Amino acid sequence: MSNAIDLELTSKRFLLYLRAEKAVSQHTLIAYQNDLKDFQKFLKKSFLDISHFRHLRLTIREYWSGLLKRNFSAATLCRRLATLRSFFNFLMRENLLETNPFNYLPSPKREKHLPKFLTEKEVDHLLTDVDHLNYRFKTRDNALLEILYSAGLRIEELTRLNVGDCDLWNGVLRVFGKGSKERVLPVGDFAMKAVKKYLEETHRPFESASGSGPLFLNARGKRLGVRGARKVLGQLIRKTSLHKNVNPHMLRHTFATHLVDRGCDLRSVQEMLGHKNLATTQIYTHTSVERLRKVYASAHPRA
């Protein structure tokens, strides 16, 4: 294990391992790749080699100290640490190192931010405004918006939907989330009617539509991508009188918050959102409590 490690080559093998065996998303792969490139630049600049373990822990501390001085957010630092811990675990798995020096670094405390969401009145206002619009892609955009709010999908999940994933008769949607994990979600009548209308308008009757065909199409008749879907939503919001910066993830937060507000149990919300851990879902209880606190403060005479 004293031989020099080709960091560039092992990084490529690591990313291939993440994609093939861990089935991580393209977004995660790009983030990991950028993190590893930054670490490689530091090593080249300092003329250091990670195969010399005697100096490795000092090297890691020097690198981490440099990151802290760059005023990154706690979320970015946590991701950087997760990337490098995973990479060094991979080096150990490949018998290139005996121990992982990043395990000795404490994880930064992440700031807790309550998710931004729309009120029920704002959602009604938004959907009513969209219903009164008249332009070429209105039917598609309305279906896209209804699905985002009705199912709480991530934008990547939305753009991966195929026609065959929509069971319009039973009101359910088959979704492939992070790590290609499949989940089946109930979807409201408004969303299903919007999808049916969109399919009929694009001459793709759902009774005979091929399951492999993309659900949402761009102007060229190809699958609508993540960037395109974000652009579509941004343009759609600007056409309405809702003066808020609304992104797809905000609609996901809105979906979850409204469910919790109306008494849905956290386990069910966790399953619908596709969260791995219940702790991730628990932030929506904080959102509801914070909202109740504001209502109490404004309404109670001795608040």
Sole residue written with tokens 């993830």: 249
Active-site positions read: 154, 178, 249, 252, 275, 284
Separation in Å, CA 268 to CA 29, 103, 157? 29, 34, 19
Strand partners, 186: 172
3-state DSSP of the chain: CCCCCCHHHHHHHHHHHHHHCCCCCHHHHHHHHHHHHHHHHHHHHCCCCCCCHHHHHHHHHHHHHHHHHCCCCHHHHHHHHHHHHHHHHHHHHCCCCCCCHHHHCCCCCCCCCCCCCCCHHHHHHHHHHHHCCCCCCHHHHHHHHHHHHHHCCCHHHHHCCEHHHEECCCCEEEEECHHHCEEEEECCHHHHHHHHHHHHHCCCCCCCCCCCCECCECCCCCECCHHHHHHHHHHHHHCCCCCCCCCHHHHHHHHHHHHHHCCCCHHHHHHHHCCCCHHHHCHHHHHHHHHHHHHHHHHCCCC
Report the distance separating Cα 25 and Cα 253, nearest Å: 21
- Which structure tokens are listed for 28? 């995660």
Report the distance separating Cα 239 and Cα 132, nearest Å: 10
